[in-house]
Amino acid sequence: MLTLLTIALAVALGVVVWIWLTRERQLENRLRQSQLELAEVKAARNLALVEEQDKQQTVFNSMVEGLLILDENGQVQFSNPTLGTLFDLHGDIRGKTLLEALRHHELKAVAERSLVEGRVTDFELTLSGRETRVLEVNAASFRDRDRAHAGTILVFHDLTRIKQLENVRKEFVANVSHELRTPLSLIKGYVETLIDGAKDDPAIALRFLQTIEKHADRLSFLIEDLLTISQLESGQIVLNQQPLELGEQVDQVIRDLHARAAERSITLVNEVSTGLLVNADGDRFQQVLFNLVDNAVKYGRQGGSVRLGARRMDGDRVEGWVADDGPGIPAEASERVFERFFRVDRARSRDAGGTGLGLSIVKHIVQSHGGEVRLQSEPGKGCTFFYTLPARN
């Protein structure tokens, strides 16, 4: 009986121990499983974080704006490559203060203002170096969960090109206003003198009216040239390129300007050999030749000659030229004559009805055909204007 009871107790104890051990093992397994899952979650989260950071880094690195992040102590935590280019930075700036890193007191003031105001927008910073740069700076300070200051972010946008274009536009508008105002005020002056009595003397009245007509013509040439320039610059003109016989084109312009050349006893000579073909827009090319020959007649030597020639060059191009034997253009002005409104002799140009736009139209048209223009001149020995155009076989 006792033995039986002992056996039963031992079996029961064994079962209890077995159950306990099994549970323990299960618990251990579950714990290990949970730890494993936790580790997996952590690893996944880390991976996501790394991926997120990589993504951010790629975005920051490819930004056209310069980016600078300061930590809560005002030390550089991050900067992107564009910032380095804008400020010509060499080496690592991490850990430096804003002033140490970029050496601009105005920027330090911007960062400090953003601490007080939360953000500073559209601050313009001018950097004077090898070339002046204008940057737009936007700064914002950010806070952590407890609303404590956590850092400042500064974004730099390069406005240099926009500012340059703005200056070109302002200069152009000022030039155009001046060019329009001059003939208009002359016309007004002559009209007032006529009204005040000059009209009663037929000889004076005729002279004044002729002068008025000359200035009115100048105004309309100017407006025409301005329209051409604006069409060329906005790319509105579609070139209708086709094979043109260069010699025939030259003959055409000589016919058009023959009378004007005769007034100054200038001979126009076509020296282009027959059969030379260019691939160009007929109307636009006529305008190129007209402007060059018209200038040669206006500024060339009275009783002199203007020669138009051309030759086939390597690389499927044709080089043409218009040469006069006039006073020429000084070397320092030879590049500038192609600029809008540039004149070597202002009074002479005005007297000849010039708009100051002829050569810049020539340059535009030739360039839109893929060609180039240049001037060769020696004062006292005349000018030769060269242009290149695509050849046609």
The stretch among 34-42, 153-161, 274-282, 337-345 that binds ligand ADP (CB under 6 A) is 337-345
The stretch among 177-185, 262-270, 272-280, 338-346 that binds ligand ADP (CB under 6 A) is 338-346
349 near ligand ADP (CB under 6 A): yes
Task: Please state the closest distance from residue 328 (CB atom) to ligand ADP, in A.
Answer: 6
107 near ligand ADP (CB under 6 A): no
Which of 357, 361, 264, 280 lies closest to 320 in space, CA to CA?
280
244 near ligand ADP (CB under 6 A): no
Q: From the list 175, 186, 344, 372, which residue makes contact with ligand ADP (rule: CB under 6 A)? A: 344
Q: What is the CA radius of gyration of the chain?
A: 40
Residue 102 or 362: the one with the smaller Cβ distance to ligand ADP is 362
DSSP notation for 188-245: HHHHHHHHTTGGGSHHHHHHHHHHHHHHHHHHHHHHHHHHHHHHHHTT-PPP-EEEEE
Q: From the list 65, 256, 345, 372, which residue makes contact with ligand ADP (rule: CB under 6 A)? A: 345
Q: Are 315 and 393 in contact (CB under 8 A)?
A: no
358 near ligand ADP (CB under 6 A): yes
The stretch among 22-30, 200-208, 276-284, 335-343 that binds ligand ADP (CB under 6 A) is 335-343
Q: Are 360 and 340 in contact (CB under 8 A)?
A: yes
| Pairing verdict, β 373-377 and 383-390 | antiparallel
Task: Please state the closest distance from residue 347 (CB atom) to ligand ADP, in A.
Answer: 10
Which residues, 6 or more positions from 82, have their beta carbon under 8 angstroms from its beta carbon?
A: 63, 64, 65, 66, 67, 156
Residue 151 or 358: the one with the smaller Cβ distance to ligand ADP is 358
For residues 172 and 163, give the distance between their C-alpha atoms in angstroms, rounded to a whole number. 14
Residue 304 or 390: the one with the smaller Cβ distance to ligand ADP is 304
Helix axes 160-195, 202-233, angle to 10 degrees: 160
Q: Are 225 and 361 in contact (CB under 8 A)?
A: yes
296 near ligand ADP (CB under 6 A): yes
Rounded to 10 degrees, the C-alpha dihedral 159/162/164/167 comes to -120
Q: Are 153 and 114 in contact (CB under 8 A)?
A: no
287 near ligand ADP (CB under 6 A): no
343 near ligand ADP (CB under 6 A): yes
The stretch among 27-35, 72-80, 121-129, 291-299 that binds ligand ADP (CB under 6 A) is 291-299
Three-class SS of residue 22? helix
The stretch among 49-57, 238-246, 343-351, 365-373 that binds ligand ADP (CB under 6 A) is 343-351
Q: From the list 280, 337, 366, 391, which residue makes contact with ligand ADP (rule: CB under 6 A)? A: 337
185-206 residues labelled b (16+ CB within 10 A) or e (exposed): ebbeebeeebeeebeeeeeebe
Counting every residue written for the chain, the total comes to 393
102 near ligand ADP (CB under 6 A): no
Three-class SS of residue 345? coil
Q: From the list 324, 364, 369, 388, which residue makes contact with ligand ADP (rule: CB under 6 A)? A: 324
Q: From the list 101, 326, 389, 391, which residue makes contact with ligand ADP (rule: CB under 6 A)? A: 326
Q: Are 318 and 303 in contact (CB under 8 A)?
A: no
The stretch among 164-172, 268-276, 308-316, 341-349 that binds ligand ADP (CB under 6 A) is 341-349
The stretch among 47-55, 80-88, 168-176, 352-360 that binds ligand ADP (CB under 6 A) is 352-360
Binding site for ligand ADP (CB under 6 A): 291, 295-296, 299-300, 324, 326, 329, 337, 342-345, 349, 354-360, 383
